[in-house]
Chains A and B, each alone.
Chain A
Amino acid sequence: MLELRNVSTFYGPIQALKGISLSVATGEIVTLIGANGAGKSTTLLSISGVAPPKRGEILFEGSPIHTLPAEKIVSLGVAQVPEGRRIFPQMSVRENLEMGAYLRRDNAGVARDVEKVCELFPVLAQRRQQLGGTLSGGEQQMLAIGRALMARPRLLLLDEPSLGLAPLVIRQIFATLQQLNREEGMTIFLIEQNAHQALKIAHRGYVIENGVLTLSDKAQTLLDHPDVRRAYLGG
């Protein structure tokens, strides 16, 4: 479904990605793990068109998207949950969800999907009228995921959904992601520092270091891999 071929991305003179090649097949959860500054977020921003790559190709369902503007990529069915949640603080939960469906014109369908998201995250249903900025961190993350789902994506990109959340909330959110994948067949590309949790729900994983992919394998294999254990799992 998604394929990166030799992608290199620069911030001015600084090369953040040095020829990344990876792929995500339909119905898969694939995770990209790595330390701070390894290039995880840049990979996501390259895919979503916010930081377009200088060299290399990005294909979504066989057609190149690395030359398209960000809004066009969203309209193709690639939604992202940005790093740090970034919900709209002065909008209500419901308005936030409706913003996620900004590119859609079917009002009835949007209203139905608001209900669906509220079923997925019951806590959002209770807080429907509340302003986004007044939610707790975990609720905001759920809202950010729900908002991305409102675009009816075929590929969901998540940038560190576990950031700054309590372990219990992280498990809850990851369980929901797994449920989305199993029941709706949602393809998910998950970027994480929390390697343990991410690898537990993912099918496959990549490890990125200094802008280069160093490992790529089945998630279970990576969980047991000595290098991964030493670097990310604490032994």
Chain B
Amino acid sequence: MRLVGRSLLVGLWFMFLTLPLLAVRVNTITETVEWRWLNLVWVGLGTFILSLALALWRQRSESQPQRDDGEGDITPRWRERLFHDQTVYRPLLIMALLATLLLPWLVDIYQINILVLALIFVVLGLGLNIIVGLAGLLDLGYIAFFAVGAYTYALLNINLDLGFWAALPLGGLAGAFFGLLIGFPVLRLRGDYLAIVTLGFGSIVKIVIENEDELFYGAMGIADIPRPGLLGLDLSLDQSTLYTYYLVVALALLAIFVTNRLKDSRLGRAWIALREDEIAAVAMGIDMAKCKLSAYAFGAFWAGLVGVLFAARNTFIHPNSFTFAESALVLSMVVLGGMGSIVGVTLAALILVLLPEYLQGLAEYRMLVFGGVMVAMMVFRPHGLISPSRRRYTRPQAQGEEG
């Protein structure tokens, strides 16, 4: 009975919360206000039922005896298997890869275009994951490095007539250089202060581009950026999109592979140690300055790299593509995915880009649902979709059979 009461309250609370969005509609033409009470009833009823079901489910799982595997942290079995049992995750990975490769033949060109954008954000998410997820340096202006990459390609193309492939590594390096540039002054900053400086840096880059007409073509943006070339072949628009798709798939795979290797490297462990406790990390003999700078450089490198691809895909870039909202979006990917988790960040990036696209059927409510999903995620999985999987060690004698 108590549960029903609480669920009722939850339902009422949600009705109140969504009142301005769902119930009130201002008709700007006739200048009247429409009240759609029926919507509100549905919200109330829906959240009531959901909340009740959740409460009952919780009650049931609490009344069951807890399984103790004697390890301190109790993780669901299926997850354990999913990430640590090769016979389970190998086929899954191969299937996912096959699906990615075959997808363009199954869906139309519009979908491929969205997927390209989603994969660009996957690479961005993985790059920021190095800075925020592994090294623990909060960065609110990450998209600036993306802008640096995009503008590097655009400007090199206009001024020096450089092609996509020549600009790709240069864009990455330019990103890394700007990473170092922001890295130096913030070496001694932490937490809130670091967040503010990076926020400022992100804004500065955008504002400089916007206001410098001579060099960066300012608020006009840069148009007619060539698409990625394939051995000088003349590609149609569709073919080019397809080609871009495979390029970005390759880039995302490379990013996944490299960041995964980095995570388990000496440098990666130093980053994690730095994130966990800076003073202790220094006491262990970790060179803090080198470590932080390399995190910025590595993270920004990916943003610069994929920025070139972004410019080539869009053929038009404008400072408004690189606002704080984009930085926040990439940061949400890292947080939603689970700090430091590569699988998590990849999934979160796909979800965060694809969800709003495919929710377009919901028209005006799409951002509401989007926000709802984000809130729900943080409530039910505060450590992200996939909390960073911990490497498990088994004692040598425990795996005696395999040898």
**Interface: A48 (CB within 8 A):** yes
Look across to chain A and name the residue whose beta carbon is closest to the beta carbon of B284: A102
Look across to chain A and name the residue whose beta carbon is closest to the beta carbon of B275: A90
Look across to chain A and name the residue whose beta carbon is closest to the beta carbon of B285: A74
**Interface: B71 (CB within 8 A):** yes
Question: Residue-by-residue, is A83-109 near B (CB-CB < 8 Å gives 1, otherwise 0)?
Answer: 000111111101100111011000000
Q: Which residues of A contact B238 (CB under 8 A)?
A: none
Q: Which of A89, A98, A102, A130 has the most CB of B within 10 A?
A: A102
The tally of residues in B whose CB lies under 8 Å from a CB in A reads: 24
Q: Taking the nearest CB of chain B, how far is it from the CB of A62, in angstroms?
A: 21
Q: Which residues of B contact A134 (CB under 8 A)?
A: 72-73
B283 and A74 contact, CB distance less than 8 A: yes
**Given A92-B390, A134-B72: A70 touches B276 (CB 8 Å cut-off):** no
**Interface: B144 (CB within 8 A):** no
B270 and A102 contact, CB distance less than 8 A: yes
B73 and A86 contact, CB distance less than 8 A: no
- Which of B73, B269, B279, B287 is within 8 Å of A69, CB to CB? B287
A102 and B287 contact, CB distance less than 8 A: no
**Interface: A80 (CB within 8 A):** yes
Q: Which residues of B contact A163 (CB under 8 A)?
A: none
Q: Which residues of A contact B391 (CB under 8 A)?
A: 95
A91 and B276 contact, CB distance less than 8 A: yes
Q: Taking the nearest CB of chain A, how far is it from the CB of B83, in angstroms?
A: 16
Question: Residue-by-residue, is B54-80 near A (CB-CB < 8 Å gives 1, otherwise 0)?
Answer: 000000000000000001110000000
B272 and A91 contact, CB distance less than 8 A: yes
**Given A48-B283, A75-B285, A80-B283: A99 touches B273 (CB 8 Å cut-off):** yes
**Given A92-B390, A129-B71, A130-B72: A71 touches B285 (CB 8 Å cut-off):** yes
* Complex Cα gap A129–B281 (Å): 20
Q: Which residues of B contact A82 (CB under 8 A)?
A: 279-280, 283
Look across to chain B and name the residue whose beta carbon is closest to the beta carbon of A85: B280
* Complex Cα gap A74–B266 (Å): 17
Q: Which residues of A contact B287 (CB under 8 A)?
A: 69, 71
Question: Residue-by-residue, is B263-291 near A (CB-CB < 8 Å gives 1, otherwise 0)?
Answer: 00010011011001101111111111000
**Given A71-B282, A71-B286, A82-B279: A88 touches B273 (CB 8 Å cut-off):** yes
B72 and A74 contact, CB distance less than 8 A: no
Q: Taking the nearest CB of chain A, how far is it from the CB of B84, in angstroms?
A: 13
Q: Which residues of A contact B72 (CB under 8 A)?
A: 127, 129-131, 134
Look across to chain A and name the residue whose beta carbon is closest to the beta carbon of B387: A90
A151 and B71 contact, CB distance less than 8 A: no
Q: Taking the nearest CB of chain B, how far is it from the CB of A97, in angstroms?
A: 11
* Complex Cα gap A127–B277 (Å): 21
* Complex Cα gap A127–B73 (Å): 12
A86 and B269 contact, CB distance less than 8 A: no
* Complex Cα gap A147–B281 (Å): 11
**Interface: B393 (CB within 8 A):** yes
A94 and B393 contact, CB distance less than 8 A: yes
B73 and A131 contact, CB distance less than 8 A: yes
- Which of A71, A79, A86, A131 is within 8 Å of B277, CB to CB? A86
Q: Which residues of B contact A74 (CB under 8 A)?
A: 283-285
- Which of A79, A94, A130 is within 8 Å of B71, CB to CB? A130
27 example contacts (A-B, Cβ-Cβ < 8 A) are as follows: A50-B279, A70-B282, A70-B283, A71-B282, A71-B285, A71-B286, A71-B287, A74-B283, A74-B285, A82-B283, A86-B277, A86-B283, A91-B276, A92-B393, A95-B391, A98-B269, A99-B269, A99-B281, A99-B284, A102-B266, A103-B285, A127-B72, A129-B71, A130-B72, A130-B73, A131-B73, A148-B283
